[in-house]
Structure 1
């Protein structure tokens, strides 16, 4: 018997397993994929670490989380500075004075603020009711039409008027010449790839891959006193209250016989006509100088049961359904639910680690 069966070898499960082992507990980690690491897994090809499930840039302002993750890997000084391509026009992201200059040739914050104010003066947006309202209030019509609307509607598969306003609030708007996408104190990409983090976390812990929890649920459950479950919460309860909604992604990886394809790690394609949302050139995350390069086109797709779940759709309908599933989860005595899917929440990597450590503190009743 193990003390814990951990379903999912992503960040939440790996952090919990690592800390449980430090507390003298035995863990069995299982994952239905043929590798550990969840969505931060990197596949190495020609000495390039390919972010197999989309771009991952670690960022946090929490010094404790930053120091915790550095036990396992050294980080480089990569700063995320995406470029937006709108029908061949290039703009810096996030929205800042470089973007405003590229759009309007303004050179001062006051000029940019005046243009934005003039573009929304007749809209009378007091309390934004949806993402479109929120975006217009933040950055005006030009930026909304060119850099937000098409990209967002591709990403989520619905009109911006049907999306909650909080989604766009995550994006920085700056009246300085600063292309750093994140406001966080600490930022970087692991030297040698993200696999080193998971390998460090799961060192000395039995991990079995290609194991689907739901294929042999009864037998697997008997192997441990408690379960840490990081899969979809509605699937755990056999969808008895209905399906939660997600967005999924399709990735097209391509190896090119050239040293440099686009000159930047991340290019966003913001018009609706191009079906993918972005192209990632992986070598730039680690300042690579290899003779070849690998790019990935990222296509958002409508999720259906059996597909990978990437983004929970946290609108009012789904939030209400999740809260009903959460009531069922709270009634489970020997199951801990965690991670983006287990908690139906959009988590960045540092937030997943923080949530896992909080769960460990609650379980073992002491500070990390």
Structure 2
């Protein structure tokens, strides 16, 4: 055998696993069907700006070990995610906090804000929410729901809120402080110079081959290594034996604009139903850029089909039960499945890295 591990997918899971395997003296080959490394965290440099080609990737975690791990490859900046919401040309701060409540109702104290929300929740009188709309109304009342949740959520899922299950929003965090920091996590930032620096450092010294479709030459590729690490769709690996798992997808429209500053913030959500995209990203603000031009990206949620990228697993009862069948099947094989698609989970980046580290530690510590 030429390689100890064939790793399918050069995203975060595959790159971290390859790095850890190489540290243990293992010979790895990483393949990816795309023309670049990094999976969905890949950045393309345009006008000196690192453009997040597959949507905003903001690293955040409470796990100091994971934070120290990524910072050992590249220094992270102090970017703090503080998105804005645009509802019919009115701007609101996110997440829902005292700034938002002042913008909605001109209330200035937490007590006034609580009273407003409680009154609206009581007016709805919903005891047992049957769908997402009822769940949201029972948590935050009509104003926040109508202006900041309904349109955005319906665009995101391509379904009416009354047709979506209540469990999608188990809770809606309300902050009674003037705090626009979206994430509660202790550590947050963006790699200085973009995510490619992180991926390239992880894969330094590892053999990689791009534009290689695993399924076009599966048998030959698998014969090249003792072990397989697979980070693609688990249902595709098993030839859709139990059916196709479902996802939501996204279309991205990138524009280079001849101006220094388009919207003054990295992320602005568009929460009314009339505007087809869910948000506009302005990438230079992730790294406090001062370039003469700017690059923006509009995100359009779409139905997923076989020729689109799968982004968000639809973790409803039917899909989860189907995934469990695939997972049980995978446990019978001596193959390592990892990452968002192989584990059918909506992972944040730190969770993907934690999963790859846990799996590699279990394997290499046992040897």
The alignment's TM-score, normalised by the length of structure 1, stands at 0.96
After the TM superposition, which residues 166-245 of structure 1 pair with which residues of structure 2 at under 5 Å, given as runs?
A: 166-169=167-170, 172-245=173-246
| Residue number in structure 2 paired with 1:341 | 341
1:118 CA drift (Å): 1.1
Partner SS, residue 118 of structure 1: helix
Q: How many residues align?
A: 366
Query: Contact (CA 8 Å) 2:139, 2:172: kept in 1 or not?
Result: no
Distance 1:362 1:15 in 2: 14
The 1:363–1:164 alpha-carbon spacing in structure 2 relative to 1, beyond 3 Å, is farther
| Residue number in structure 2 paired with 1:363 | 363
In the alignment, structure 2 segments of 5+ residues that lack a partner are none
Distance 1:80 1:122 in 2: 33
Partner SS, residue 26 of structure 2: coil
1:155 has 2:156 as partner:
yes
Once structures 1 and 2 are overlaid, which stretch shifts more, 211-220 or 119-128?
Answer: 119-128
Once structures 1 and 2 are overlaid, which stretch shifts more, 130-139 or 316-325?
Answer: 130-139
1:271-330 Cα deviation digits (max 9, x unpaired) = 111000000000001111111000000101100012110000111111111111111111
1:276 has 2:277 as partner:
yes
| Residue number in structure 1 paired with 2:136 | 135
1:98-148 Cα deviation digits (max 9, x unpaired) = 001100111111111111111121444445444323322332111111111
Partner SS, residue 319 of structure 2: helix
1:259 has 2:244 as partner:
no
In the alignment, structure 1 segments of 5+ residues that lack a partner are none
| Residue number in structure 2 paired with 1:309 | 310
1:166 CA drift (Å): 4.3
1:26 CA drift (Å): 0.9
| Residue number in structure 1 paired with 2:24 | 23
The 1:17–1:171 alpha-carbon spacing in structure 2 relative to 1, beyond 3 Å, is farther
Query: Contact (CA 8 Å) 2:121, 2:139: kept in 1 or not?
Result: no
The alignment's TM-score, normalised by the length of structure 2, stands at 0.97
| Residue number in structure 2 paired with 1:96 | 97
Distance 1:32 1:263 in 2: 36
Distance 1:170 1:37 in 2: 33
Query: Contact (CA 8 Å) 1:138, 1:173: kept in 2 or not?
Result: no
Query: Contact (CA 8 Å) 1:94, 1:171: kept in 2 or not?
Result: no
| Residue number in structure 1 paired with 2:331 | 330
Distance 2:366 2:102 in 1: 52
- Aligned-pair Cα RMSD in Å: 1.4
